[in-house]
Amino acid sequence: MLSKKLVCAMVIFMTSLNAFAATKNPIVKLETSAGDMFVEVYADKAPLSAKNFLEYVQEGFYNGTIFHRVIPGFMVQGGGFLPGLEQKKTKSPIKNEAKNGLKNLRGTVAMARTSIIDSATSQFFINSVDNAFLDFRSENSNEYGYAVFGKIIDGLEVVDTISKTKTHFVGYYGDVPVQDIVILKASLIRKQGEAAVPTASVEQAPQK
């Protein structure tokens, strides 16, 4: 007779596998100090942002970076700073794809930027709730929005865990986690168009 723990692990594993099988888009695994997340990267609907993100992933750029901005009931942001808020040098900014029709819904991943429309580089954020006000509304710089390029298909509970972390001010930076939440490794585990492949055995499936 299967134990309750093993049954739970099997359910989680099968749910994850179904999510992987539902898409042919690339999938990136984010191994963090708070747990693992899997991101479907919308290469079909946000090709420029997807290409940019995947290049940073494959170059190992995100390894060791932190989630440096955490706002409960809003989002968690990372991809640009090392511990100690040491900012990493990035490539040139990319064009904003906020007009791609994708919405900033809970669990979606979008490009962070400054007030300049086409200023996104490496930083991204994960919406912890639906944030309709971040969607494209007009060509006006204040309403252009933030380009969604992916979605967490497994590990959304990790985002919720990060959202609960205690934050403080560090210099003029606000909403900085008191304890570093580190992206230990970001890796491309499935390329565009590849068949779904399990990433873990039942025994290795994350426990709740």
pLDDT in tens, 125-182: 999 999 999 999 999 999 999 999 999 999 999 999 999 999 999 999 999 999 999 9
Which tokens sit at 62? 């995100």
Q: How many domains does the chain have?
A: 1
Strand-pair category, 183-190 with 35-41: unpaired
Domain of 70, in residue numbers: 4-192
In a domain? residue 197: no
Q: Write out pLDDT tens, residues 68-88.
A: 999 999 999 999 999 999 999
pLDDT tens per residue across span 39-58: 999 999 999 999 999 999 99
| Torsion over CA: 41, 19, 60, 64 (sign) | positive
**130 in any annotated domain:** yes
Q: What is the CATH number of the domain that holds 167?
A: 2.40.100.10
* 200 is a domain residue: no
> Considering the domain boundaries, does residue 168 fall inside one?
yes
Q: Please, is 22 exposed, middle or buried when counting C-beta atoms within 10 Å of its C-beta (0-12, 13-18, 19+)? A: exposed
In a domain, 105, yes or no: yes
Q: What pTM was computed for the model? A: 0.84
**Which residues does 202 contact at the CB level (< 8 Å), separation at least 6?**
6, 9, 10, 13
Residue 204 lies inside a defined structural domain of this protein:
no
* Calpha distance 14→134 (Å, rounded): 33
Is 199 a member of any domain?
no
In a domain, 19, yes or no: yes
